[in-house]
Structure formats: C-alpha cells, structure tokens
Amino acid sequence: MKLVRLYLEKENFRVEAAYTGMEALQKYAAVQPDLIVLDLMLPEIDGWEVCRRIRRESQVPIIMLTARSDDVDKIVGLELGADDYLTKEFNPRELVARIKAVLRRAGPSEPGARGLREPIRIGNTCIDPDRREVTIDGRQIELRFKEFDLLLHFVQHLGIVLERDRLLNGVWGYEYFGDTRTVDVHVAHLRDRLEGSDLCINTVRGAGYKMTARQGSGISS
C-alpha cells in the first residue's frame, strides 16, 4: 500500500493510514476523513465490520478493496454501504481516478456553484441537490452517498431508459471496467428508500432502468 500512498500524496491528498480494523475506526473518529479506502482483510476487525460501524453514524464515501474477484465480497460490501470496490491487484491510477470522481460529487462542480441549484419537487418528493436531502410528504429519508447521486441522475433523465453502463459512467464518474452488479444493488436499495414516493424505478428487461413519476405528479423547482 506504500505505492498507493505515494500516488495519492503526489495528487496532494492528505493520507492517514491504519493497519488494523480497530486502528481504522480510531483514525476515522479522530480525523473525520472526506473519503475512506477500506481493505477487507484487516486484522482484529475486518473491513466489513469497520464499514458496518461507520455506516451507523456517517455516509462518508467508502471504496472497498477486495483480494477476491468473485461477486460475494463485492455484493456484501455494497450491501453494507460501500460506494464502490476495487479488486487487487489494481492500478493505483485507477484508484486515484475513482477517488477524484467520488469527491467531485461530494462538493460543488466549480467555485461558487454551491447554493445555486433549486430543490426539485416531483409530486410528494423533494430533492435538494445542494443539501443532499430528500423528503417524501415532508418526511426526510436517509440516503447513502451513491444512492443520492443515483436518484439525482434518474430525476435528471426522468422517463428515459438508462443502460447499466451509462449509469455507471454517469453516476460513478469514470469508465467502469467489470460487471454491473454495483448498479443493481444500489437500485434495489434506492427502491426501498423511495417507498411511498411518487417516483418509481422501473426495470426495462434487456435494457436497464427508467424512472417515472406517478400520473399527475408535475415537476417544479
């Protein structure tokens, strides 16, 4: 991991390293990082448990690193709330690219942009892009980092069929190499969060997904 650290520091990232699961939790509490790169194979407390504990109190973006290429580790990580994953041995440049993509979506796209985007109201659902808040019938719902990005992307393409590859590129922010299970897991979570909303995510067999609004649910801002 020394090579990864060198790449990140070269890009002017401040890096705090932890070598056990317990140390990772302690560093997280002390530093409150903008993003976490989490190895699953940590001693004392594994990466899954570290992710589970952090998700109890924070939606900080988490990129998981797994030594296995099978789907099990990836799906479990996504189910626990990871935003993305990489399989070892990965190219450090790809990790840097993914970190930058996630952080771009965590803040304004350009200086002075924050605060200029009006909330989007569709029927009983309100989406505030700047506050990253969603309410249904006035009740705030909790979304993970990537779930919010995915919802916003769907809303911006309301009624349009979006292929999984297109969603990966549009929401995750890089040319994605690998399977598209990431999208399916996040869509499933988002559907659960949107229960009671006038927004609905439809599966288009053989194509991808399409978000629609219930009849009579106009869009306003």
Task: Give this prediction's pTM.
Answer: 0.65
| pLDDT at residue 79 tops 60 | yes
State pLDDT tens for residues 148-170: 989 999 999 999 999 998 898 88
Q: Token pair of 93, please?
A: 């440049």
120-220 folds as Arc Repressor Mutant, subunit A (1.10.10)
Closest CA to 152 of 136, 130, 181: 130
Would you call the peptide bond into 89 cis, given omega within 30 degrees of 0 as the criterion? yes
2-106 folds as Rossmann fold (3.40.50)
Q: In 32-180, which ranges are continuous DSSP H helix?
A: 47-55, 71-80, 92-106, 145-156, 164-167
Q: Are 181 and 74 spatial neighbours (Cβ–Cβ below 8 Å)?
A: yes
Domain boundaries in the chain? 2-106, 120-220
How many angstroms separate the CA atoms of 38 and 69, rounded?
Answer: 16
Closest CA to 39 of 60, 23, 21: 21
State pLDDT tens for residues 108-128: 443 333 445 789 999 999 999
How many angstroms separate the CA atoms of 102 and 106, rounded?
Answer: 6
| pLDDT at residue 175 tops 70 | no
Question: Taking the C-alpha atoms of 45, 83, 62 and 108 in order, what is their torsion angle to the nearest 10 degrees?
Answer: -170
Q: What length does the chain have?
A: 221
User: Which whole-number Å values give the CA distances from 178 to 13, 17, 26, 73, in the listed order?
Assistant: 26, 27, 33, 14
State pLDDT tens for residues 5-48: 888 999 999 999 999 999 999 999 999 999 999 998 899 999 98
Mean pLDDT for the chain overall: 84
DSSP code per residue over 17-49? --SSHHHHHHHHHHH--S-EEEES--SSS-HHH
